[in-house]
Structure 1
Amino acid sequence: MNRTPYAILDAEENVVAVLLGKPVEGEERDPEKRWDAAIERLAHKFEAARTKRGRKFAAGLKNHRRGKYTASSFGVSYGGGQKRPGNLAMSADHREMVEEFRTDEDLGRVAGWQSNGFASYGPKGYDSMVSALDRLYDSQPELQRNFPNSAYPCATANLGPNTVCLAHNDCSNFPSFPCAVTPFGSFDPDKGGQLILYDLKVKIRFPSGSTILLPSAGMRHGNVPIQAGERRYSFTQYCPGGLMRWVRHGLQPAWKLSPATRSRLDGEGGEGWQAQLRTLSKYSELAADRAWLVEREAARLSRG
């Protein structure tokens, strides 16, 4: 994978996944400000965050259904017994780590690149997510955005040292909104770490610093193991489906709705196949959808 993006299309030419690659940079850019330098620093920062003296991670954060590596999620979520959307709970020590992540210039740059990739290749889905989240944040001012330049409400720092995912689906994520994944570390991408999209029966070379957008809820995926002694970390952003349902149901839990009202709301903008397909862009219509999103974003800014 290089700096040229590639879109993966379905039979109807809808964009269903994107090999976003890396940002294009000019040779005149300061070497310390270049993408690869930032990615190398992030690998050291994630290693330092995991191994900081006195920092402890619960067993469930080190050995889970995705694999045996340390992971820490942060942002806004809804589900798992929560009565309403909220900031993910964490210890004071982890909160300190997360605040360092949120203010880190290198990680913020990756977060913005991922979010912009979603906007560029999924304009309709991006607009749907932003519109819903704006309503949510307006209704609950205590909710904290992770990064000022990213629309995604939730993120996971996969702190390694061997971030290799087993085959899985992220079933709690909103189905048609892509999960953005960027790996980094000292591993040979020709000998390990490749991304496998099991439903499509493809294996994708996935080097450090490259980004992939994929619908993680509906597309089973995982990684090829890396070699002994290598290190691999990754950063992901995503949108929990529960947030979208909360907004769609009028900023209230589903049980408060009558069956008829819930059926109507879910039919109009829910998570069935037809509703999901409406949030995808056909490759031939991307230019028009991008122009439409620019107008939508300008209108949002004018409203303040």
Structure 2
Amino acid sequence: MDWDGEPTPFVDADRQILFCLGGFPPDRNGSDWEGDVSKPAAEAMKGSAVQIYTVPRWQRKRAAGERIPRRGGHAAKSVGASMGGGQVKPQNLSHSPRLLAIFAALFALKCFERISGWTNTLFMAFAPDLWKFYRDTLDAVCSHDPTILRNFSQKFSVFSTTTFNFGPRTVTFPHIDFRNLAWGWCAITALGDYDPDRGGHLILWDLKLIIRFPPGSTILIPSAIMRHSNTNIQPHETRFSFTQFTPAALFRWVYNNFRTDKDINASTKTSAAEHEQRRQDKRRRWSEGIKMYRTWKGKVRTL
């Protein structure tokens, strides 16, 4: 699909919006998305990568036989709220004070604030019920535990967590983000200096789609169930990506009234009726979740 960055919803057979090619906002009133947002964000990520890794470590090639992370061999760091892997409650991902200062400097930049705000607008426009579910969940988590920090203010994002894929050549393997909400959306913003006609395309393997993915544009997909990756870029090019998501465990935490499944199942205070209700809720969870997708009534672009 030769996508030009124009916001484009993708619908299923029932015309529900399954995912969204969000693109970037049109330039108007002196605003230049590429010059004001896309390029400065890429330069900021490049500068931060050099601080975090040093140039030799950042640009090095992995040795033969060295273990490569599941999503790919590029440099990446995640920051924000997390839960899972044995955690008994939500926590901020742990980093050194130096790393936290670098992340805080990135989040404070106007370019990342605008990317996050644009992503939030797309999410709210194309999936308002799902957006509200994300907003209410993160609000509940932060209200219950004030030590949980947001990457952006409520005005700009409903996502709890961000991954900076520092590259310098962010080329991912086919994967699913199995810790994310099954019917939820993950936002991917491509950045860097690469020719989108010759590389960096998003591949959605289950749908047999290869989508042109220009720098500065954003795509929102259900990354927990849709296997995805991106194509290689040319040897002299750089590609970064800025992703936003919320772990599924945070939604379970709020549903459980700020407890884990293990705590509820082990508690003598949990009645038989409550156990039965939870079993019924689990059976309905997927069907209720996809009801949060909106029906598209506009024109549909066919491939």
Normalising by structure 2, report the TM-score: 0.86
**What's the counterpart of residue 4 of structure 1?**
6
* Long gaps (5+) in structure 1: 286-304
Residue 238 of structure 1 deviates from its aligned partner by 0.6
**What's the counterpart of residue 176 of structure 1?**
183
Residue 261 of structure 1 deviates from its aligned partner by 3.0
Residue 266 of structure 1 deviates from its aligned partner by 6.3
Q: Matched residues in 1 for 2:211 and 2:178: separation?
A: 22
Task: Check if 1:284 corresponds to 2:297.
Answer: yes
**Residues 117 and 157, structure 2, Cα contact 8 Å, conserved in 1:** yes
Amino acid at match of 2:34: D
**Residues 161 and 231, structure 1, Cα contact 8 Å, conserved in 2:** yes
Q: Matched residues in 1 for 2:111 and 2:138: separation?
A: 25
Candidates 211, 219, 232, aligned match of 1:225: 232
Candidates 231, 247, 256, aligned match of 1:249: 256
**Residues 249 and 262, structure 1, Cα contact 8 Å, conserved in 2:** no
Question: 1:98-151 deviations in whole A, cap 9, x for unaligned?
Answer: 111121111111111112211111111111111122111111011111111111
Give the RMSD, CA atoms, in angstroms: 2.2
Candidates 12, 21, 24, aligned match of 1:22: 24
- 3-state DSSP of counterpart to 1:199: helix
**What's the counterpart of residue 290 of structure 1?**
none
Task: Check if 1:99 corresponds to 2:104.
Answer: yes
- 3-state DSSP of counterpart to 1:111: helix
**Residues 254 and 262, structure 1, Cα contact 8 Å, conserved in 2:** no
Task: Check if 1:71 corresponds to 2:72.
Answer: no
Q: Matched residues in 1 for 2:53 and 2:183: separation?
A: 40
Candidates 258, 275, 278, aligned match of 2:288: 275
Correspondence 1:154-233 to 2 at 5 A:
154-233=161-240
- 3-state DSSP of counterpart to 2:43: helix
Q: Matched residues in 2 for 1:165 and 1:113: separation?
A: 24
Normalising by structure 1, report the TM-score: 0.86
Amino acid at match of 1:35: W
* Long gaps (5+) in structure 2: 266-271, 299-303
Q: Matched residues in 1 for 2:281 and 2:132: separation?
A: 16
Residue 272 of structure 1 deviates from its aligned partner by 3.9
**What's the counterpart of residue 83 of structure 1?**
88
- 3-state DSSP of counterpart to 1:184: strand
Q: Matched residues in 1 for 2:211 and 2:240: separation?
A: 17
Amino acid at match of 1:41: P
Q: How many residues of Structure 1 are paired with residues of Structure 2 in the alignment? A: 278
Amino acid at match of 2:123: F
Amino acid at match of 2:117: G
